[in-house]
Structure 1
């Protein structure tokens, strides 16, 4: 079997590695130049994009910002999973909000802005604490602005004045006073069967995910079931095939959906070590028509992103249950260079291992690690 992935970054690389034991050959497309490449070495393969599409059993994506012309060609083959419409939902916040509202999935109160002076109306309707998001091409904290009080409005309007809001509208959301950020990663196959991983708790810094812990501590059965029902409504509503990540805010025992990612997701990387079947393997299983694998957690796990640095000691591998995943990229500020998965038998033991990990990595690049280690150590068995 062969799967062609649009996008040639680390997610395609990890799909390739997950596919090898299954006998699934994964090729990748550099969507910047339409070249078919090896997902690990990035070397061009001796095949054209048209030939690769023809020989593939399934087409999929590693990220949602694939040029629409490529998605249109892929969609015509009827091999693309998830569908083009589902992928575009993840690439466009306006589409995303319309889907959430159409399916009655709870999310933050919001308005769509196509004219700069409509921001005053947003303040009147939503209050003066707002998150302003570009509807396209915003991720890892980019393309976002915060209004904390009405007096900032002239400054915000000036910052947005050069944007073409007719082409790329703004989604203006009421700022949510949430308890924590969670995500649910799940998978749906072509027959409509669904499996979900446990909720993960996500810790962000400057708009980027730094640490995920799964299963998220202090999750009631009711909260997990509520998240699973949200996933089911979304996956069935889109007739989705593959892995889908749903990022949420927890407010008491309520969940508000923040964002959707129609692909394998950073907050699901823990599953490579902490679950019987990783999100990467389950995504491949879904798109080629193989039975889905077990998604339960073996025990508490943490995923720690390595962002913008390569200066850490590989001696961290001395820590039992610690696994390094290096992406082979050139170092750049705010660039995800790799991640570290840590597994343990209890939250306390996980906290101790994360505390040990602090000795091998520079604190300035891992600002959430020490505090999270201390928090986990305090969880009662």
Structure 2
């Protein structure tokens, strides 16, 4: 069996590693030049894209922003999973909002803006605390602006004045007071089988995910059922195949969907060490028609992103239950260089291990680590 992944980054690499024990050969496409490469070495393979498509049993993506010409080519084969429509939802916040509204899924109060003058109406209807997002090409905090009070409106308009809002509209959301950010990773197979992982609690810094803990603590049965119903509605409504990530805000006992990611997702990396079957293996199983694997957590786990640095002590591996996943990239500000997974027998023990971990890494690149360690220690 063979799966071709559009995108040749760390997610394709982790899919490749998950595919080896299953006998699934995973290849990748460098979408900058359409070259078919090995997902780990990035070495070009001896076939062109057309040949790779023909020899593959399934086609998939590792990120949403694959050029549409490539998605159109892939969609014509009926091998692309998830579908082109589902992938484009993840690449365009306007499409995403329309999808959520179509399925009556609660999300942040918002307006779609195609002209700067409409921002005044947004302030009137949504209030003067707003998050303004580019509808395309925004991720990890890029393409976002925050209005904290009405006095900032003119300066934000100036900052946005050079944008073609008719071509790329803005999504303007009310800035909500929420308890925490949660995400649900789920998977749907070609036959319609659905499984979901436990909710993960996510800590962001400057718009970028730094730490995920799963299972999230203090999740009521009603909240977990609500999250699963949201996933099921989306997955069945889109006839989705593969892993889908749903990022949510918890406001009391209500979940509001923030973003969708039609692919394996950063907040599911904990599953490599902390679940019976990783999100990467389950994605591949779904694509090629194998039964889905067990999504239950083995133990409390934390995933810590290594962002913008490579200078830390590999002696962190002396911590029991600590695993390093390195992506082999050159260092760049805000670039995800790798991640660290830590498992423990309890939340309190996990907090102790995260405190130990903080001694091996430069504090300035891991600003959420000790704070989360302290929080977990309260569960003693």
- Alignment TM class, shorter chain as reference: over 0.9
1:28 corresponds to: 28
2:99 corresponds to: 99
2:302 corresponds to: 302
Answering whether residue 248 of structure 2 is matched by residue 233 of structure 1, we say: no
Shift of residue 374 of structure 1?
A: 1.0
Alpha-carbon separation, structure 2, partners of 1:184 and 1:173: 21
1:51 corresponds to: 51
Alpha-carbon separation, structure 2, partners of 1:379 and 1:168: 45
With structure 1 as the length reference, what TM-score do the two structures score? 0.99
Answering whether residue 144 of structure 2 is matched by residue 178 of structure 1, we say: no
Q: Deviations over 1:186-235 (max 9, x none)?
A: 00001111000000000000110000000001111111111000000011
**DSSP-derived class of the 1:137 partner:** coil
Shift of residue 274 of structure 1?
A: 0.2
**DSSP-derived class of the 1:116 partner:** coil
RMSD: 0.5
Q: Deviations over 1:299-357 (max 9, x none)?
A: 10000000000010000000000000000000000000000000011001100110100
Alpha-carbon separation, structure 2, partners of 1:164 and 1:17: 41
**DSSP-derived class of the 1:360 partner:** coil
Answering whether residue 380 of structure 2 is matched by residue 364 of structure 1, we say: no
Alpha-carbon separation, structure 1, partners of 2:255 and 2:288: 32
Shift of residue 35 of structure 1?
A: 0.4
Q: Gaps (5+ residues) in structure 1? A: none
Answering whether residue 5 of structure 2 is matched by residue 15 of structure 1, we say: no
Shift of residue 71 of structure 1?
A: 0.2
Q: Deviations over 1:115-155 (max 9, x none)?
A: 11110011111111110000000000000000111110100
Answering whether residue 170 of structure 2 is matched by residue 145 of structure 1, we say: no
Answering whether residue 212 of structure 2 is matched by residue 212 of structure 1, we say: yes
Alpha-carbon separation, structure 2, partners of 1:109 and 1:198: 26
Q: Deviations over 1:39-63 (max 9, x none)?
A: 0011111110000000000000000
**DSSP-derived class of the 1:69 partner:** helix
Answering whether residue 274 of structure 2 is matched by residue 274 of structure 1, we say: yes
With structure 2 as the length reference, what TM-score do the two structures score? 1.00
Alpha-carbon separation, structure 2, partners of 1:127 and 1:144: 17
**DSSP-derived class of the 1:213 partner:** strand
Alpha-carbon separation, structure 2, partners of 1:251 and 1:270: 24
1:287 corresponds to: 287
Shift of residue 378 of structure 1?
A: 1.0
Number of residue pairs matched by the alignment: 380
**DSSP-derived class of the 2:140 partner:** coil
Shift of residue 176 of structure 1?
A: 1.0
2:343 corresponds to: 343
